[in-house]
Structure formats: structure tokens, C-alpha cells
Amino acid sequence: MSTRMTAAPPPLAFGTFKLRGDELRQALHTALAVGYRHIDTATCYRNEEVVGEVLQDEIGSGRLTREDVFITSKLAPKEQGYEQARAAVLGSLERLQLEYIDLYLIHWPGVAGLRREDPGNQEPRRHSWRALEELQGEGKVRHIGVSNYTVRHLQELLQRCHVPPFLNQVECHPLCQQRELRDYCHQHNILLECDPARIKANFQVPPTLTEDELEQLDALDQNHHLCWDPTLVP
């Protein structure tokens, strides 16, 4: 097993999207009590402060140590660019009350304020990655990665980066299997983290599937598109 693979995060993460305040506090304490050790947040979730409060309570009480938990946060589209990305990571560290973040991702390949097809998306995300590389070198983040990147976005990044992405977090489930992307990530030693959240409200598949039904699911995957579609970002 490679060094990168042995450093893989805990396989099941507790996602904090849409959770705030006391609801998040209670949910996080419960999640950590039952064994979750990977917490996923993001600057655009606007809940890093609460995550930090819960972590400090758990660590301060002796129930956990910092090394017991793996924290992921993400750079928002409005924070793309070198200076903006540096400021965003430092802000996340302050809100989370941590000396380092285990994994920091570029949340989306596009830039806030630009159309998805605008070629101007490319340069800011390259500068964002340079900032993340530097912050990793400074010990502010342990691993750096991306989210919602397609094969094309990864190819562009690998051509220019000094540090390859550790992980790509994407939507992936039976209705959106991401086969080409999975193969590409495997070939380039990039972990693929599956985020099924955007499908759960409409995902009603009986537990037993026939061969015909499996073929229908595969056909759905071939034509699956979201309104928030990273394939449209140059």
C-alpha cells in the first residue's frame, strides 16, 4: 500500500451541511460519541465556529485528542485566488480553533461571479492551489485536495502543480457512478471520496435489482446532469 493510501482519512465522515447552532452541537457530540472520527465542514456552510466549539469541548474533557479526529474544510468559490485562499484557510483555522486542518479542499472549480463557461475560472483556481501548497508546507494543513473536479480539471491541475491533489470529493452513487473519473483518480493515486448527499431525497431503489434494472441505472448514469454541473466549468 502506498504512503498516500495509508494516510487515507476515516472512511465514513459526518457531514455538517445545513446544520447550525444547537442542532449541530448536539449532532456532533452524538456522532463523536458513537464513533465518528471524520468531520466534514466548509467555509460556505457557515458552521466552522460550532464545529470548533464542539472539538474543544471534546478535547478539553479528555474524551478525545486532536489526533483522534480528522477535519475536512473547503474553500468557497468566492475565496478563489492566492491571497483569498490564504486568508480563507487562516480564517478556518481560527474558527475551528485548530493549529492545523487535516484536509482542505477547493470546493468547486469555478469562481463566484463568473459564468460557469468563462475561461477566467482557470487562473484563480491555479493561484488557489499554489496557496494551498504553501500552507501545507507551513504545516497549516496536512493534506490538500479538490471537490467536484472532473477529469479535465484534474488534468489541468496535474500539469501545473508541485503537490498533486490528495483527494477529490464528488457526487458518486448508483445513479451517478463516475466511472471515468474513478478510473482516472485511481491511475493517478488520487483518493475519491463519495458524496451522496445531493441524491438522497430522490433516491428510491428497491433492495433487489434485476439485470434489466441495473442496465437502466447504468443508462441513467450516462446521461446524469445536475444544474450545478462541474463539467460546464472550463
Q: What is the pLDDT of residues 22-49, one digit of tens each?
A: 999 999 999 999 999 999 999 999 999 9
pLDDT at residue 112 greater than cutoff 50: yes
Catalytic residues: 45
Query: Please, are residues 137 and 131 in contact by the beta-carbon 8 Å criterion?
Result: no
Identify the band that residue 204 occupies on the pLDDT scale cut at 50, 70 and 90: low
Alpha helices in the chain (DSSP H): 3-6, 21-33, 48-60, 82-96, 122-137, 151-160, 179-187, 211-222
Confidence at residue 231, expressed as pLDDT on a 0 to 100 scale: 60
Which H or E element spans position 70? strand 70-75
pLDDT band at 178 (very low <50, low <70, confident <90, very high): confident
| Confidence band, pLDDT 50/70/90 cuts, at residue 234 | low
Give the Cβ contact number of residue 68 at 10 Å: 12
SS (H, E, C) 97-139: CCCCEEEEEECCCCCCCCCCCCHHHHHHHHHHHHHHHHHHHCC
Q: pLDDT per residue over 116-145, tens digit each?
A: 788 888 999 999 999 999 999 999 999 999
* pLDDT on residue 198: 55
pLDDT exceeds cutoff 80 at 7: no
d(CA 30, CA 190): 31
Angle at the Cα of 72 (from 195 to 41), degrees rounded to 5?
70
Range of the domain at 185: 3-232
One-letter amino acid for residue 211 of the chain: E
Question: How many distinct structural domains can be found in the chain?
Answer: 1
Query: Residue 200 sits in a domain of what CATH number?
Result: 3.20.20.100
Q: Which residues are annotated as a binding site for substrate?
A: 107
